[in-house]
Structure 1
């Protein structure tokens, strides 16, 4: 009986207080709509405008940089860096806007930020290598350490760059094997095709051959190759024949240096070797032993 009376009393009190509760709720709602909603709308609009402006500025800056570059694969690098910077800016603007909106809603941001910080630390410890990959990849792109199509040596692997991203670099070696190198494993970059490549030919002949004769023949071969319609355009400077590089065991070794366009040294090497062989045969140049022509690649390495 007493329970029924208590329940009836509570219901009666609720009914009596209902108008006051509705008035308070209506007043709070109107207050929220009048003061807080406009601020939230302004924050959202401001964030949207800032993001649009950021993207427009990044796109315009990338286009200006691309116009200054020669045609080539570096265009993709400029666009990638611009995209990364834009994404970071969009994240920062969105995060700040979200905090401002939550503050207007009256939520306590302290525990939320603490939880987010703990979660961020946990993710950071679990993905240190991945973070390192992205940081290294970003600076590789930003500093333009190598391009798609360059021949480089990284992490003990040498090959031609086929793809590159913030996560890894894909190389294909001379055997056709594809190597996927995480950017975090890259400590030193040796680029043999930056701006130009250099060819170092070591031509060995019998010690008895007059040095002036051999140097003259090599210079003549180099001049003909430089003036060739097909191969001349691949050579960026005159052929250099410093002279005898080594003497011993009844032979003399002559050094020939040729600078070529990036990645064109191999084709020029084959043609140079063919011409040397033909010229030496016509002029009765005696080889050392069975006759040897040594070739050593020397690019213009750029370490980072």
Structure 2
């Protein structure tokens, strides 16, 4: 029984099976080699932008490598599949013709796919954002975890993953490109001495920028900018400083903590809304 089965299989294996295995092995080797070639090519040929730090430039290169490697892998395996089908006896011509007819039938749906792909190409060419950046698409914000030609994958602060097709993106806000800002509005009591407030704010910002644990993250120290508003319960002041990308939230949190301690020591009040009820 087994010998008969081997007798039947052996001619097919030597005439077709070996070719199928060869197609798979060659496709795998081409895929791997193309990935290594793209890696080297991107790192050598993509021009550096003088305003990007090495970390940002590395994120850009890794984004391009992932996209081009993914597209190349799809192309290689599609060609390998067509060759394997032909080796198994399927006529490729009618299949391609049927695919063309199906493409025409699905033309209205395919236009959205084409729109997504074109949007992805422009995102890559214009270097709008990269893997590892924090971006906002209209009301959807998060860390860029993956980019393909069709869509971008974001993970927000709650851990929710959002898959956003490029054709749906109208406005891109990149919160982490080149540099970021600490933009803090702070209220002080109307009875406060503004000159003292300015002196304390600037001193705290300079001390934070000189702290060994924080100075590598800060480009320009957070400083008093101007009086923003006369609110109901407080004089609102604006504090502004520049940080490395993605570090603005850490620096702002530490700045708030130090300002509260310094204000308490200097007797500067941070007011809060109060309601006084008079009974007749």
Does 2:163 correspond to 1:180?
Answer: yes
Could you say which residue in structure 1 is the equivalent of 2:44?
A: 64
User: Out of 261, 267, 282, which is 2:250 matched to?
Assistant: 267
Does 2:145 correspond to 1:162?
Answer: yes
After superposition, the Cα gap between the structure-2 partners of 1:286 and 1:57, relative to the gap in structure 1 and judged at 3 Å, is closer
User: Matches of residues 27-176 of structure 1 in structure 2 within 5 Å?
Assistant: 61-66=41-46, 68=48, 70-71=54-55, 72-80=58-66, 82-83=68-69, 120-176=103-159
What TM-score comes out, normalization by structure 2 length?
0.67
- Backbone CA RMSD of aligned residues: 3.4
Q: Which has the larger radius of gyration?
A: 1
Unaligned runs of 5+ in 2: 1-29, 80-92, 275-280
CA offset at residue 232 of structure 1? 1.4
Q: Which has the higher contact order (CA 8 A, sep 6+)?
A: 1
Question: Structure 1: how far apart are the matches of 2:119 and 2:202?
Answer: 45
Does 2:264 correspond to 1:281?
Answer: yes
Question: Structure 2: how far apart are the matches of 1:160 and 1:60?
Answer: 26
Checking the alignment, whether the CA contact within 8 Å between 1:81 and 1:142 is kept in structure 2 is no
C-alpha deviations, 1:151-182, integer Å up to 9, x for none? 11114211111111112111111111111112
CA offset at residue 253 of structure 1? 1.2
Checking the alignment, whether the CA contact within 8 Å between 2:67 and 2:147 is kept in structure 1 is no
**Secondary structure in structure 2 of the residue aligned to 1:152:** strand
User: Out of 180, 196, 199, which is 1:213 matched to?
Assistant: 196
Checking the alignment, whether the CA contact within 8 Å between 2:116 and 2:149 is kept in structure 1 is yes
Unaligned runs of 5+ in 1: 1-50, 95-108, 292-304
After superposition, the Cα gap between the structure-2 partners of 1:57 and 1:227, relative to the gap in structure 1 and judged at 3 Å, is closer
CA offset at residue 117 of structure 1? 6.2
C-alpha deviations, 1:31-60, integer Å up to 9, x for none? xxxxxxxxxxxxxxxxxxxx9xxx799776
CA offset at residue 211 of structure 1? 0.9
CA offset at residue 269 of structure 1? 1.3
Checking the alignment, whether the CA contact within 8 Å between 2:192 and 2:269 is kept in structure 1 is yes
CA offset at residue 288 of structure 1? 2.0
Question: Structure 2: how far apart are the matches of 1:78 and 1:220?
Answer: 43
Question: Structure 2: how far apart are the matches of 1:164 and 1:65?
Answer: 20
After superposition, the Cα gap between the structure-2 partners of 1:174 and 1:129, relative to the gap in structure 1 and judged at 3 Å, is same
**Secondary structure in structure 2 of the residue aligned to 1:237:** strand
CA offset at residue 85 of structure 1? 8.2
What TM-score comes out, normalization by structure 1 length?
0.62
User: Out of 202, 217, 240, which is 1:257 matched to?
Assistant: 240
